Structure 1
């Protein structure tokens, strides 16, 4: 399974748990699918290269967008949609999605009302966007594994050839 699938699954699970009043949470929904509202539909919309940590993985910065849908005929539907957008912003704050390849919490969280697409005219819609840093690929360690106990430290100026006897193992440092 790819990191993107894992990340979207984690986002769906956490939003569903933390926003129980949302009846339908789904990533990349089919446009002709039946949606029970209130609904939160989301997905990654673009990616760019992030800051490489030098471990062989590819660092990416993903932009995500969520659309919150409330039936337009509900009382105060625009307010209800805004409330759900604020709740999503709260879920996003400091969120790492419980996956090890996410390298930071969401940034640049922004919410605003949107005009619905013609096929969604029966809804009031708010969008919430955020930036998420994560990594894909395998960890690469280009050096051979060393046996236990082979790591030692030398402290300046007692380093280099002729000073090897003054090096200490990590467990022997006071």
Structure 2
């Protein structure tokens, strides 16, 4: 597999994926740590916590389940902002469900969406929290294969063995080609 995912790389890939696939967002960043007016609609991604996954790969890596949050942020100047923020939250929930975000991870699993009032820096905006989980492997894969992947497979039927008897083997071919 790999040497696992580094949390910084995970954050960067989620933000990159959101920028590329949810084009109506004017800003995508991690953790809402801004003191200036926000270009809305926007979203902030964060990893809330993680726990040991029930399914471990037994390869030296630790498989963890990340609890992730995506904050959808809209302005409150529009008359329909309550409906608009709910539609935005639903669109983001659909977008993240089943995604791997270009990483060697398990598909994201949408958990919930609800109004968010826990970020005082966003009190001037309508904010909804979209939560999802995702399993990732961290640490080094002790059994990672580093050799050459075979390109030809041969089989023998009661073969003679040795260098002089190579003709008694048949190459296995892919019938689809």
TM-score band (shorter)?
0.7 to 0.9
Paired residue for 2:65, among 47, 61, 65? 61
Paired residue for 1:7, among 5, 10, 14? 10
Determine the C-alpha separation between the residues in 2 that align with 1:95 and 1:115: 27
Match of residue 32 from structure 1: 35
Match of residue 77 from structure 1: 81
* Cα deviation 1:90-114 (Å, max 9, x = unaligned): 11121011112x1x21124211122
* Cα deviation 1:103-154 (Å, max 9, x = unaligned): x2112421112236443222111110011100111210299x8xx8xxxxxx
The CA deviation at 1:88 is 0.8
1:116–1:125 CA contact under 8 A, matched in 2 = no
Provide the alpha-carbon RMSD of the alignment: 3.4
- With the length of structure 2 as denominator, give the TM-score of the two structures: 0.74
Match of residue 113 from structure 1: 115
1:112–1:126 CA contact under 8 A, matched in 2 = yes
1:58–1:135 CA contact under 8 A, matched in 2 = yes
The CA deviation at 1:31 is 4.3
1:116–1:124 CA contact under 8 A, matched in 2 = no
Unaligned runs of 5+ in 2: 151-160, 162-168, 173-177
Aligned ranges for residues 105-144 of structure 1 at < 5 Å?
105-115=107-117, 117-141=119-143
Q: Between Structure 1 and Structure 2, how many residues are aligned?
A: 160
1:131 to 1:142, Cα distance in 2 relative to 1, 3 A: closer
- With the length of structure 1 as denominator, give the TM-score of the two structures: 0.75
Unaligned runs of 5+ in 1: 149-164
